[in-house]
Structure 1
Amino acid sequence: MSESVDDGRNYTHWDANQAEATGKWAENRRLAAAMRRVIEHLVRSDASEEELRTAADGLERYAERLERHPRRNRPAGFAESANAGDVGAFFDFSPQIGLCNPLAPPIELWAKEDQVYGNVNFGSAYEGPPGCVHGGAIAAAFDEVLGFAQSITGRPGMTGTLVVKYRQPTPLRTDLRFEARVARSTGRKNFVEGRLCAGELLCAEAEGIFVSIGRERFQQLAEAQARREQVSG
């Protein structure tokens, strides 16, 4: 990877609910919210075979319509988007925080001074053990939260390592709180730590190392992705 770029950027806040969404952007959010509802109810519903068939027929028809439209190519997380230029334009499609992405819980994130905070409520689609959040979903969320924390240093990087320690089962459909901060920075590396709590209960802790890359290397990755998209059609 190339040397890091210290360009003085400092990303302290991305509040998706406060960002003004109009036109196509607003409709994308609306569609994603509807899909999120479908996913939530599908994994919990005991609907009849006929009802499921009707729903599947409708969704298959609409999937075919969407497939006829051009694909969007853009990075979607804090660590990646921090090197992409127009940062805010990417966040709403993140699989963790994006209101335009039906896979996102979504997590609400903000920063105060050098500390990052987040709120999330994982629905039924993220279930692992009965009534609890899947460990993989927690790890993915930590990757985004810690990525946000290291991006506000002005020397953002991509995930090098991520270690999660699960202290207690994390409850589903419960308001949860993330906290994260950069413990130290050495050369191209940001060392970040975070925690996830349900009220006063410590559910999980995480440590991550994020390695800075320059815009040139990031652009190479984006161009490689574009070539793969062209080949796959």
Structure 2
Amino acid sequence: MTASQPNADGSTEVAHSPRVDGLHGLPETQRRVAIRRLAAVGREMIETMSITDATSARLDEAAAALEAVVESLRREPVGSDYVGHAEVATAGLTLAERQALVEAGDPEAWAQFDHSPLIGLANPMSPPLSMYYEGARVIASATFGAAFEGPPSCVHGGYIAAAFDEVLGAAQSMSGVQGMTANLSVNYRSPTPLMTPLRIEAWLDRIDGRKIFVRGEMYAGDRLTADATGLFIAPDPEVFAALMEVRADMTRARRERGA
């Protein structure tokens, strides 16, 4: 984005994305280190289950061991609240306004991103994608294992689309306002291989009022495997408030079931 193209909040300074800065800036508390370690083990378990040719007896033994772990964790408190000034609690605010809230003393402001199914280090389902900046672009790298297979030896197209949604979502935040996905269009240009480092690039295309248009490309080495366009819309804070209430109800229900 150039200085001649204003952000959604009217400024011309290139903003950063909370998906990148927020996740990288989370303090490494003892619990965060532990939950990320547990998630990493879970990630390895999912990958191993996808390729194992173990005997039925060995599989039954492994299932029994995992059932014991799950039962042990079920006895612990239940809930994964959005804490602090999370993305959903600051819908429609500019990045500068959100950052001011962070600087007011909430180090866990973006903790929900650690549980993302795409970038979260505390989520065993995530590949995970690692994101950083190159100028005004967001760059993501990831290697998808056997658990993500679609066509033989290739990443399932649904996961490719999900990866684009995450990375384009990070890029649209650089408009200065956090939007929600309204439309995502993916072109699959060539097979996207498993077990291969992939690179995704995303950048702002243009802004039209509350509409934020973003583009992206995915590469395996120098080969383009897919490209995408996305439309994100800065939402009405009242819509997010309603979603937050639904999520609070879900959390209460989980806690009651675990009581």
Structures share fold, TM-score greater than 0.5 = yes
TM-score normalised per structure 2: 0.79
Q: Distance in 2 between matches of 1:204 and 1:145?
A: 13
Contact 1:16 1:108 in 2 (8 A): no
Residue aligning to 1:11: 17
Q: Distance in 2 between matches of 1:81 and 1:118?
A: 26
1:32 corresponds to which of 26, 39, 45:
39
- 1:31-50 to 2 correspondences below 5 Å: 31-50=38-57
Distance 2:214 2:73 in 1: 39
Residue 203 of structure 2 corresponds to residue 181 of structure 1: yes
**What is the one-letter code of the residue matched to 2:32?**
W
Query: Which shows bigger deviation, 55-64 or 192-201?
Result: 55-64
What CA deviation, in whole Å up to 9, does each residue of 1:100-138 have, x standing for no partner?
Answer: 000000001112332111100001100001100000010
Aligned partner (choices 185, 189, 192) of residue 214 of structure 2: 192
Give ranges in structure 2 of 5+ residues lacking alignment: 1-7, 99-107
Contact 1:79 1:157 in 2 (8 A): no
Query: What's the CA shift for 1:50?
Result: 1.5
1:149 aligns with one of 162, 171, 186: 171
Distance 1:17 1:36, change over 3 A: farther
The amino acid across from 2:127 in the alignment is P
Alignment-derived partner of residue 72 in structure 1 = 80
Distance 1:191 1:122, change over 3 A: same
What TM-score does the superposition give when structure 1 sets the normalisation length?
0.88
Tell me the equivalent position of 2:240. 218
Q: Whose radius of gyration is greater, 1 or 2?
A: 2
The residue type equivalent to 1:215 in the other structure is P
Kindly provide the amino acid, as one letter, of the partner of residue 73 in structure 2: L
SS in 2 for 1:109: strand
Q: Which shifted more, 172-181 or 48-57?
A: 48-57
User: Is residue 79–residue 144 contact of structure 1 (8 Å, CA) maintained in 2?
Assistant: no
* TM-aligned CA deviation for residue 29 of structure 1: 0.2
Identity %: 41
Residues 172/41 of structure 1: CA separation in 2 closer, same or farther (3 Å cut): same
